Structure 1
């Protein structure tokens, strides 16, 4: 609602590194639907959720059964759940608000990518892309898996899942396969190593269409834009391709079934290719014609107007930004660290990237401040211009204002209750969306309070040559520091510096005093009592002096 007024620079692209986030070694990132929360998976198996407005940690999800690196993170549609895949072959579904683990499923292969079903507010189905097997649909409640077909057999008319047997030329049987849901999750788009995209109904595991990529290179990434109108593919031929989705956003499966019924003269693979040509149309191609580099983690901007891709070269942290027309508009150059993941903010012109060292960099627009103190109707000029005044400029009632007529209807009622639908609202939205997490402050670790030691027995041990006990400060006063210079507290994260007693304090501690001294109520003077100096304190209660009882 009123997006042009709230954020007039929404269509701009980021330019500089504004800030960076640091917590362990982060591997992958994902924004929630509105960009208020940022989830990051770490190498120790934990998942950190950042409040992106305050740039503070809002929640930490840690599974004691998982200590392997996180490979991907996915939010549910309304942000109440997070799916995490790890290198120990596990898929873990979390409740974000409570921080509790809902389910955990262990696969036979390491999942490189996992995506929750986008059509449900509390999804239990996900799409997993393992390292060395075909993509599969996983039921997180039961743990059952269903393999998706990714290859066309040489004989027969149907499609079968990719076989585990080696190919005839001796090449490895598998390459990591890309797959993704469409906007509402009724179809799955799967890319294989032969440069083919299959459009599959995941419930019946039926292939309805097939689209061939020019060149037949291995498809590494498949990403839909937020509005579902464009599909992005990243291939091994160093080219990013944008396809226009010709199917309706809703009921795309019904449209596919209707196409298959109308095409009767063909059968098998040719029929699927004919249907595929009516599903996806090649729109643009992006590549670096000079360096011919490979791309990593390409994606769309929140409004789908921009396309970004990270350089896959080692030691480079470069992000290329194109407009949808195919023009390269910006190259962002970061530190000399390899880039491993990218994400564009759903609302603002902000890009977040992850480096190989585990830092998350936030790229934002470089706004130029102008502090010129002019009246609102003044215009700042780059150079002098000759001004030509209007004929009626200095009239009491200019002719231009006389001609103007008000178009406003004074009798029209203004609706201030109805909320306009924004870019993220859906007609099937049935529950409140999670945009922020409640504050959960971590209590400080209580520092260990050292006991006051002043009994004659302990003083006797000090007098016999042993080191002074903890808690003995200058002039026999009890302090909360030990004599060691540095010591870690119980939390293990902060260091506190310990003060060493002075020579005078050590001398006073070594003396035997059998009777406790009476309280002294002067104001900071030095009193000479039996050839001893005692600092008087302005405290009405308590016993102070060389010898302090344990009470």
Structure 2
């Protein structure tokens, strides 16, 4: 998820239910620190890890024999702590899906367990009938919190700061913690202190490194059920059994202690006395430093003025500007949203007629997940409206639809037209006649080279229709080299290339034969070199041989002994044609006129042997 794409001006709390998941055994849910996965646990002792985006199950963890009471994520999101009513505490490694550490509590059920926000190897557990203890999985030791060793008359200094806040004497705040059972606990944002709530309404702040109790605050006479911090760690919510949620501003006092320590070192080095220059002495600064500790300032109390119901869960929104409370009404599934600063009720989310058991908030987005008494998981979010004006990829005439509309196509919308089809066989695209509008948008192909086909009938081709001024042969030479180019016919020193010209006749397979040693007619002696090329027409006219089918497979070739004339292959027309080519000595083919005599023999003569009337001219 890209946090930069989130609109900062939209509401930071959900407005409606957008999805729900059915799981009859679910009792508690928690988001991981990144908001990508959701841990759910229920009555069968099973914990499941869901991908929040795809709603698919990633891991299925089974290890408890009874109901799972709480789940908590580690800082890196790889480990999960689960506690159960059977006294089992399991620290899961989600990558292999196995238990990294597992231990049991002898006293019975474990109410809640919380992983350390900074150290992934440390977590705290609150049993039902014992004092809480810390667990470090690196050395596999249980360190019980020595709360009853601090509250003795010999150490009244621990109550100084607390008495100053509440304007009460020290004697009123000395209580016997042995008569109090612990109900919940939680770490602050830094992880240096552990907040514990008792069944008598006491809030105890315990310093982990010093192993001392810094502050004890009497919240109410009823039990404390939940202790929740905001994401910044400066605000604190306390949910008690007296049907109210209290908001406090928490100050750890670390900044003040750092200032006092710096002043104490300076005074100790300079040895400045208060009666000399009017400043504090080193002893006074040390006394102030000894009594400096965390402070809690009460802000507001949230409650339901109408129904006066208790709250099963409370939390902050992701930005910390709203307070969320889950109602414990047996026949309603209501979520209350208050403004933290204005303390007014802004929204009440109403779900199905099912009691709410647990509630969790997404760490970054305005999304809440609640669990009902029937095990159903409800996902609450905002109403997503896409502003299409922000998308530049849409067409200018794009219209946003509020609901699904059945599209009715036009009568000719999906009809195939001949003008839009491409004839693949001839590689010709038929297009409409260009207009003034289409000529400007038409792309000109300057890369494709079209080869010229000399056998194409240009009379029926639209592509060959031009202005009438250009020469067809010059255009053919410019487009592509002719396949009938015969270099060297005019001599060895002449580098020009002459092209063979044909009359438009119907072509068939070649009819010729090789004759390198035949003699040449007397009339053609001045035009044809000896032994070069003999035309088929001359052979038939000279020998009076009948035209047979064997002539179809013969090819006229040039004798390899002659170096002046290169190899020449020529095509001979079919029998039905009366025109046959004749090869001259200058390299051109002259047309020949043929006819059949009275005996049915084919006779062929060149155009030079026939007069204007078509009669045979006697040779000289």
- Tell me the TM-score normalized by structure 1: 0.58
- Residue in 1 aligned with 2:115? 116
| 3-state SS of paired residue (1:353) | strand
Paired residues in the alignment total 357
Paired residue for 2:350, among 333, 344, 351? 333
The reply on whether 1:181 has 2:173 as its aligned counterpart is no
- Residue in 2 aligned with 1:226? 231
- Residue in 1 aligned with 2:130? 133
- Residue in 2 aligned with 1:493? none
Q: Deviations over 1:337-358 (max 9, x none)?
A: 1111100111211110011111
The reply on whether 1:358 has 2:365 as its aligned counterpart is no
- Residue in 2 aligned with 1:70? 68
* 8 A Cα contact 2:182 2:196, kept in partner: no
| 3-state SS of paired residue (2:112) | strand
- Distance of 1:18 and 1:363 partners within structure 2: 6
Q: 1:148 to 1:24 in 2, by over 3 A?
A: farther
- Distance of 1:310 and 1:25 partners within structure 2: 20
- Residue in 1 aligned with 2:562? none
Q: 1:131 to 1:157 in 2, by over 3 A?
A: same
Q: 1:366 to 1:342 in 2, by over 3 A?
A: same
| 3-state SS of paired residue (2:227) | strand
Alignment of 1:463-542 (within 5 A): none
- Distance of 1:264 and 1:68 partners within structure 2: 52
- Distance of 1:37 and 1:207 partners within structure 2: 36
Q: Deviations over 1:449-489 (max 9, x none)?
A: xxxxxxxxxxxxxxxxxxxxxxxxxxxxxxxxxxxxxxxxx
- Residue in 2 aligned with 1:310? 326
What displacement does 1:133 show? 2.6
- Distance of 1:218 and 1:90 partners within structure 2: 24
Q: 1:251 to 1:87 in 2, by over 3 A?
A: farther
* 8 A Cα contact 1:49 1:57, kept in partner: yes
Which runs of 5 or more structure 1 residues have no equivalent in the other structure? 161-171, 379-551
Alignment of 1:234-253 (within 5 A): 234-247=239-252
| 3-state SS of paired residue (1:144) | strand
- Residue in 2 aligned with 1:346? 363
The reply on whether 1:207 has 2:204 as its aligned counterpart is no
* 8 A Cα contact 1:47 1:62, kept in partner: yes
Which runs of 5 or more structure 2 residues have no equivalent in the other structure? 160-177, 265-282, 400-620
| 3-state SS of paired residue (1:119) | coil
- Distance of 2:90 and 2:112 partners within structure 1: 13
- Residue in 1 aligned with 2:53? 53
Paired residue for 1:191, among 197, 202, 205? 197
The reply on whether 1:80 has 2:78 as its aligned counterpart is yes
What displacement does 1:17 show? 1.6
Taking CA–CA contacts closer than 8 Å with sequence separation of 6 or more, which of the two structures ends up with the larger relative contact order? Answer: 1
* 8 A Cα contact 2:24 2:374, kept in partner: no
* 8 A Cα contact 1:114 1:129, kept in partner: yes
What displacement does 1:209 show? 2.3
What displacement does 1:312 show? 1.6
- Residue in 2 aligned with 1:296? 312
* 8 A Cα contact 1:180 1:188, kept in partner: yes
Q: 1:217 to 1:243 in 2, by over 3 A?
A: same
- Tell me the TM-score normalized by structure 2: 0.52
- Residue in 2 aligned with 1:320? 336
Q: Deviations over 1:262-282 (max 9, x none)?
A: 677799xxx97xx56x62222
* 8 A Cα contact 2:224 2:239, kept in partner: yes
Q: 1:195 to 1:24 in 2, by over 3 A?
A: closer
- Distance of 1:256 and 1:15 partners within structure 2: 48
Q: Deviations over 1:375-413 (max 9, x none)?
A: 79x9xxxxxxxxxxxxxxxxxxxxxxxxxxxxxxxxxxx
* 8 A Cα contact 2:180 2:198, kept in partner: no
State the superposition RMSD in angstroms. 3.7
- Residue in 1 aligned with 2:299? 283
Structure whose alpha-carbon radius of gyration is higher: 2
* 8 A Cα contact 2:184 2:226, kept in partner: yes
